[in-house]
Amino acid sequence: MYIKQVIIEGFKSYREQVATETFSPKVNCVVGANGSGKSNFFHAIRFVLSDLFQNLRSEDRHTLLHEGAGHQVLSAFVEIVFDNSDNRIPVDKEEVRLRRTISSKKDEYFLDGKHITKTEVMNLLESAGFSRSNPYYVVQQGKIASLTLMKDSERLDLLKEIGGNKRKQIVQVVQYLD
Ligand code: ATP
Ligand code: MG
């Protein structure tokens, strides 16, 4: 299972809808000038997959909804298209689309276009091997250094968590240096 494509609209610096090209299951590189939206792109992925943007207050929504020339968009969404040919996500489909939309009032998730609850999303991600609260598959700037500087016992704990008795494995390492 890997992230095949990301579609963003109205989120942070992405006003118009943008869809990435299809990613490789191996290594992908996101490049761009300063301020062009690289970090926002990785925020968009975490917006759907991690706990980072939970329980949004109105000022959080304000920073997430695109604002340009004094005008703020009314809603935003980020959709992640997974290649699910290995059926890690327990849905019998080769491709699965998970979308989160927000507006000033609503915060909703959709799986292949059908509305699902946040709890269902969490269960789905958990069974696919994503840990939402400790997303080791997103390695932020500075984390590489801390991984190498960890005590052996801490590194062992991390490996235990990754290789634990659930179906946890490193799914896709999304590293960003911003
Ligand atoms: P760098 O190479 O400097 O790290 P970057 O490619 O990571 O740059 P980002 O941090 O993703 O760039 O993008 C920063 C831009 O996003 C800034 O110009 C900021 O004003 C803009 N931005 C952030 N939030 C919003 C928003 N809600 N509406 C409009 N623009 C936004
Ligand atoms: Mg950046």
Nearest to 95 by CA among 22, 24, 4: 4
Tokens 């269902």 found at: 120
pLDDT band for position 126 (cuts 50, 70, 90): confident
- So what CATH class is 2-136? alpha beta
pLDDT tens-place string over residues 165-177: 444 444 445 555 5
Whether the pLDDT of residue 48 is over 50: the answer is: yes
Average pLDDT over the chain, rounded to an integer: 86
What is the Å distance from ligand 2's center to 143 Cα?
A: 15
Q: What is the pLDDT of residue 111?
A: 96
Atom of ligand 1 nearest to the CA of 36: 6
Confidence at residue 171, expressed as pLDDT on a 0 to 100 scale: 45
Q: Which ligand is nearest to the CA of 43?
A: 1
d(CA 115, CA 86): 24
| Residues sharing a CB contact under 8 Å with residue 60, sequence separation 6 or more, in sequence order | 53
Distance from Cα 151 to the centre of ligand 1, integer Å: 35
Q: Is the CB of 12 under 6 A from ligand 1?
A: yes
Nearest to 80 by CA among 13, 14, 12, 23: 23
Nearest residue to 81 (alpha-carbon basis) of 38, 22, 32, 169 = 22
Summarised one tens digit per residue, pLDDT across range 134-159 is: 556 677 777 778 888 889 888 888 77
CA of 52 to the centre of ligand 2 (A): 17
> Residue 125 has what pLDDT?
85
Q: Which atom of ligand 1 is nearest to 72's Cα?
A: 28
Sequence spans of domains, the chain: 2-136
Do the beta carbons of residue 122 and residue 159 sit within 8 Å? no
How much distance in Å is there from the Cα of 176 to the middle of ligand 2? 8
Q: Whose CA is nearest to atom 2 of ligand 1?
A: 34
Q: How many residues does the chain have?
A: 178
Residues 45, 82: Cα–Cα separation, whole Å: 12
Q: Return the DSSP state at 29.
A: -
State the pLDDT at residue 115: 97
Q: How high is the pLDDT of residue 44?
A: 95
- For residue 52, what pLDDT band results from cuts at 50, 70 and 90? confident
For 73-100, how does the pLDDT look when each residue is reduced to its tens digit (9 = 90+)? 999 999 999 999 999 888 899 999 999 9
**How far is 63 from 3, CA to CA, in rounded Å?**
25
CB 42 within 8 A of CB 138: yes
